[in-house]
Structure 1
Amino acid sequence: MNEVRWDANQIPELRGKVALVTGANSGLGWHIALQLATHGAHVIMACRDNTKAIQAANAIRSSVPDARISQVPLDLSSLASVRACAKRVINDQSRLDLLINNAGVMFLPYERTDDGFDIHMASNHLGHFLLTGLLLERLERTDGARVVTTSSGFARFGRLPTDNLHGNERTSSFHAYSNSKLANLAFSCELARRLEKGGSRVISLAAHPGYAATNLQFGAANKMRSPIKAGVRRLAMRVSNAVLAQHARMGALSALYAATASRAANGEYIGPDGWMEQRGYPTRARIPEKASDGRRAAEFWALSERSADVRY
């Protein structure tokens, strides 16, 4: 990248384009949706809570009165919900220019979804894996389409599961989250390889926000049984967000660059340019070897296909 720092003012005109953003009702997803709508895209906000999605859409319209926004229900922890979401998008849209795999959960206590998968791996990776596969045909028929998957610096601490995606109650919430973020990055890299090998016009990129102040950090506190421990956790996160984190609108820039910048290329990983990639403007981030390893990624891809009952 050149020396000019990239920001949202450099997003090109997006009128006529359609973008699906998961988890668009708050945090990074909301800021991504806001900027895409500001620059003319029709933004589909795919969210678990439709009431919050409507409120978030109205907040965008207060800044962008002519914004084209629609909502579609999506609970990424449920494979049935993912399939219903994809079916509705396919029925409603003749094109899909951008798929922003943004939604996620963080540091939750061990829990299995109704489909039997670890809550972190299901919500952060497997749901997005299935959604991308189901929407790939729409992406393929749209010239210049991109898939952007949100990972995290925590990916460097993760390990890719080899046998199943059920998780283990002995695994800490830290490592469960890190594993799912490594899965996001490995998926994005492997998707890029497969798209290029198949001669597809679609490109796949990954992005991470550094340390951005969002509601994601408070999810664990909301699941705690002890009000005292939950209160301490919330206070700690408020202080950390205020002192160490960058604003969510800055954290969103990495994904926005990956989604819209003309220089962004298939297989790239975008993150902040500051110290330890924690804050700053978009630049190319370092991909850990355990995410870029083609053999490991291919094996994990096959496991994901079996788990989600999808092939692409």
Structure 2
Amino acid sequence: MSSVSQSRPWDVHRLPSAEGRTFLVTGGNAGIGYFVAEQLAGTGAVVVLGSRDPAKADAAAATIRMRVPGARVQHLRLDLADLPSLEAAVGELDVDRLDAVVHNAGVALDDPPRLETGDGHELMFGTNHLGHFALTRWLAPLLSAAPAARVVTVGSFAARSERLDLDDPQSRRDYRPKRTYGRSKLAQMSFGFELDRRLRAAGSTVLSVVAHPGGALDSLTPSRPPVHVAGPGARLRAAPAGLLVQGKDAGAWPVVRAVLDPEVAGGQLWGPRVFGLRGAPRREPVPAHMADRAVAARLWAVSSALTGVDPLLGR
């Protein structure tokens, strides 16, 4: 990948080459993940769409190829809600190294009832956090084989107002969908920061970076049929909101920068420039509750017990 000069500002429309590199984007068939994959495909990299739905992944890959001539896009069947399947899924990756994984896929529920994965975990916590926690373990050898790989965790603005309850991590006693979603994203972000601390302590060349899309609305997102179709009426009605938030294409910018920019360091948080809600990507200070090492260490222990694996211990 070509270096970006410190004297030239990062340009979201002129990304550096990533020819010869391979990136995995979980949930790359829709939403933020689709636009991350589309933008990364334009750098010359091989982009693997991690998706449990082959038809949706095929549609996304075809759309990317139509917009990015020569794009090299593949599909990996990946179900983060099915923890026992992840080791075999990673075994299907036909690569000898992985230059970055974007932990993007997620579930967001607005209403009860509380749902569980097949493994008995609350669906949002189990998919958004535990699935990526376990996936990191199985990807570890491929990431370590790359000269400077990155784990990029996609967080959410919703995590800022939440706090983890590690006595009830799966919301068995008090389930409120929006709060549970926010906590699942906070768990992801806390894990991303703790992962980097442990990677540094182990002397690893792999970096862990956290990014978030700010306020990203479907109604402000450009059409990518059949992946996403934005009607003119919906876009017109949403236009005033564009003063504060943005579409999912722009929401992908901080994530893409976290993957590509050689100036990005492990343990950093990246988000949109304007109030953390919209605009070009910039580095943000890490909120204190996300940087709490004691909470993160306890979350790691709880997650390891629930998944049966440890991302850095090889079990």
TMscore range, shorter length = 0.7 to 0.9
Separation in structure 1 between the aligned mates of residue 44 and residue 123 of structure 2, nearest angstrom: 35
Separation in structure 2 between the aligned mates of residue 77 and residue 236 of structure 1, nearest angstrom: 32
The reply to whether residue 193 of structure 1 matches residue 197 of structure 2 is yes
Cα distance change of structure 1 residues 261 and 131 upon mapping to structure 2, 3 Å threshold:
same
Counterpart residue number, 1:253: 253
Separation in structure 1 between the aligned mates of residue 159 and residue 281 of structure 2, nearest angstrom: 18
Deviations 1:177-229 (A, max 9, x none): 110111011001000100111110000000000011249xxxxxxxxxxxxxx
The reply to whether residue 290 of structure 1 matches residue 289 of structure 2 is yes
Deviates more, 1:187-196 or 1:67-76: 67-76
Counterpart residue number, 2:147: 143
Counterpart residue number, 2:241: 243
Counterpart residue number, 1:299: 298
Residues 2-21 of structure 1 correspond to what in structure 2 (within 5 A)? 6-21=10-25
Counterpart residue number, 1:113: 117
Q: Which amino acid aligns with 1:36?
A: L
Runs (4+) of structure 1 exceeding 4 A deviation are 1-5, 235-242
The count of aligned residue pairs is 290
Identical aligned residues as a percent? 38
Residues 206-221 of structure 1 correspond to what in structure 2 (within 5 A)? 206-214=210-218
Residues 1-312 of structure 1 correspond to what in structure 2 (within 5 A)? 6-89=10-93, 92-108=94-110, 109=112, 110-163=114-167, 165-168=169-172, 170-214=174-218, 243-244=241-242, 245-275=245-275, 277-311=276-310, 312=312
Q: Which amino acid aligns with 2:250?
A: M
Cα distance change of structure 1 residues 59 and 5 upon mapping to structure 2, 3 Å threshold:
same
Deviates more, 1:60-69 or 1:147-156: 60-69
Deviations 1:135-188 (A, max 9, x none): 011101100100000001111122223235432263211110110111011001
SS in 1 for 2:101: strand
Whether the aligned pair in 2 keeps the contact of 1:5 and 1:282 (CA below 8 Å) is no
TM-score by length of 2: 0.86
Whether the aligned pair in 2 keeps the contact of 1:12 and 1:39 (CA below 8 Å) is yes
Separation in structure 2 between the aligned mates of residue 129 and residue 242 of structure 1, nearest angstrom: 38
Q: Could you say which structure has the higher helix fraction? A: 1
Whether the aligned pair in 2 keeps the contact of 1:47 and 1:74 (CA below 8 Å) is yes
Unaligned runs of 5+ in 2: 220-232
1:4 to partner: Cα distance: 6.3
Separation in structure 2 between the aligned mates of residue 169 and residue 241 of structure 1, nearest angstrom: 40
Cα RMSD (Å): 2.3
1:122 to partner: Cα distance: 1.1
